[in-house]
């Protein structure tokens, strides 16, 4: 028997801070650029690597809920999935270890000398050596995030769950929840008092009095600016509907480094709890 997962709803938060488009998107590609427009030349910056490598080449496979080994490289998810994230195939290595390209599993995979599996891109020609050199340089320079200063300057930090994928088909649940912020949080305020996992009590509904809350969660900070963190349950998953709640109100809310409250409910204003619901099944 294996755990099966359905992500049901993403509540109260917009991921618009990751999108590059405006209006209704007519005439724009998936990255918000005019359709048919070539990306700028490849340089050792994350957004350039996303535009020139990850999006046009890697997302053929590594996108959405069915991405191999859970590695999504589509825009808005790739940085959180790579930097300081343990490899699934070789857990002792990080996919991207900032400052250390030789021990970054991403480099080992695209150079073709990883201990497990084939060279990437799978089934296609290897990346040119000058392209790999640029990715190496980005990692050597500390694997800086995209537009970190601009994201940190937003009026109120918003949150989004990158993994699991909202609306994904049933599948084995990930061992953790991966959350990204649009700026830098005060990570000292991320603890069991502000981050909780609730179970519906078997009826699939919340706020009717029979819910239970995990007494503790494990929180791992993976990046500071923008803040990326992983949440693990304190015990095994149960067959039930879950809700992740990150406090943006109440006596001990999560805030940014300057003390400003998060925009948990996605209304453009500080305050409001962030919520994300999903279903875990053990009967498949």
Neighbouring-strand partners of residue 240: 280
The confidence score (pLDDT) of residue 23 equals: 40
Per-residue pLDDT tens for 251-269?
A: 889 999 889 999 999 888 8
Confirm if 110 and 132 have CB atoms less than 8 A apart.
yes
Q: How far apart are CA 183 and CA 177, in angstroms?
A: 18
Nearest to 243 by CA among 201, 213, 277: 277
Query: Is the pTM higher than 0.75?
Result: no
Cα dist from 150 to 74, 156, 163, 231, whole Å: 20, 12, 24, 26
- E strand or H helix that includes residue 162: strand 159-163
Instruction: List, for residues 95-112, the tens digit of each pLDDT value.
Output: 999 999 999 999 999 999
Cβ proximity of 213 and 190 under 8 Å: no
Is the C-alpha dihedral spanning 283, 241, 233, 85 positive or negative?
positive
- Asked if 31 contacts 55 with a C-beta cutoff of 8 angstroms, the reply is yes
Residues of the chain with confidence (pLDDT) below 70: 1-39, 147-155, 167-174, 215-216, 282-284
Using only C-alpha atoms, the chain has a radius of gyration, in whole angstroms, of: 19
35 to 9, 25, 31, 53: CA distances (angstroms):
30, 10, 9, 17
- CB-based contact 218:204 (threshold 8 Å): no
Find how far residue 261's CA is from the centre of its chain: 21
CA distances from 178 to 91, 115, 154, 242 (A): 17, 26, 21, 15
Residue pair 246/254 in contact (Cβ under 8 Å)? The answer is yes
* Residue 33 to residues 25, 151, 278, Cα–Cα distance (Å): 9, 19, 32
| Environment class of 103 (CB within 10 Å of its CB; exposed 0-12, middle 13-18, buried 19+) | middle
The percentage of the chain sitting over the pLDDT mark of 90, rounded to a whole number, equals 51
Ranges of H-type helices in 25-128:
46-49, 78-82, 105-111
**Residue 12 pLDDT:** 37
Distance CA 40, CA 42 (A): 6
From 189, 273, 193, 178, select the one nearest 229 (Cα to Cα).
178
Question: How many percent of the chain have pLDDT more than 70?
Answer: 78
Rounded Cα distance, 62 and 69, in Å: 9
Q: What is the mean pLDDT of the chain?
A: 82
Residue with tokens 């992500």: 7
Q: Which pLDDT tens digit goes with each residue over 181-214?
A: 988 999 999 998 899 999 898 888 888 888 888 7
DSSP assignment of 74-91 equals STTTHHHHHBTPBPSSST
């Amino acid at each position: 028997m294996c755990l099966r997962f359905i992500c049901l709803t993403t509540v109260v938060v917009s991921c618009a801070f990751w999108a590059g488009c405006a209006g209704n998107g007519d005439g724009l590609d998936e990255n918000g650029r005019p359709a048919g427009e070539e990306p700028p030349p490849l340089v050792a910056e994350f957004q350039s690597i996303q535009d020139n490598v990850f999006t046009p080449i890697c997302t053929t496979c590594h996108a959405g809920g069915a991405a191999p080994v859970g590695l999504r490289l589509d825009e808005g998810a790739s940085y959180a999935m790579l930097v300081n994230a343990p490899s699934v195939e070789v857990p002792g290595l990080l996919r991207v270890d900032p400052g250390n390209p030789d021990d970054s599993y991403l480099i080992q995979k695209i150079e073709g000398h990883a201990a497990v599996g084939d060279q990437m891109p799978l089934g296609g020609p290897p990346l040119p050596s000058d392209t790999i050199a640029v990715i190496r340089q980005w990692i050597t320079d500390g694997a800086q995030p995209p537009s970190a200063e601009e994201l940190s300057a937003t009026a109120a930090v918003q949150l989004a769950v990158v993994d699991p994928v909202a609306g994904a088909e049933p599948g084995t649940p990930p061992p953790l929840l991966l959350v990204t912020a649009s700026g830098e949080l005060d990570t000292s305020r991320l603890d069991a008092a502000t981050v909780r996992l609730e179970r519906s009590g078997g009826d699939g509904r919340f706020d009717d009095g029979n819910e239970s809350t995990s007494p503790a969660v494990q929180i791992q900070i993976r990046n500071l600016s923008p803040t990326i963190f992983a949440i693990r349950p304190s015990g095994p998953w149960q067959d039930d509907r879950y809700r992740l709640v990150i406090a943006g109100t109440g006596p001990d809310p999560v805030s940014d480094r300057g003390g400003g409250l998060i925009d948990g409910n996605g209304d453009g204003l500080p305050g409001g709890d962030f919520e994300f619901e999903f279903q875990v099944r053990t009967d498949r």
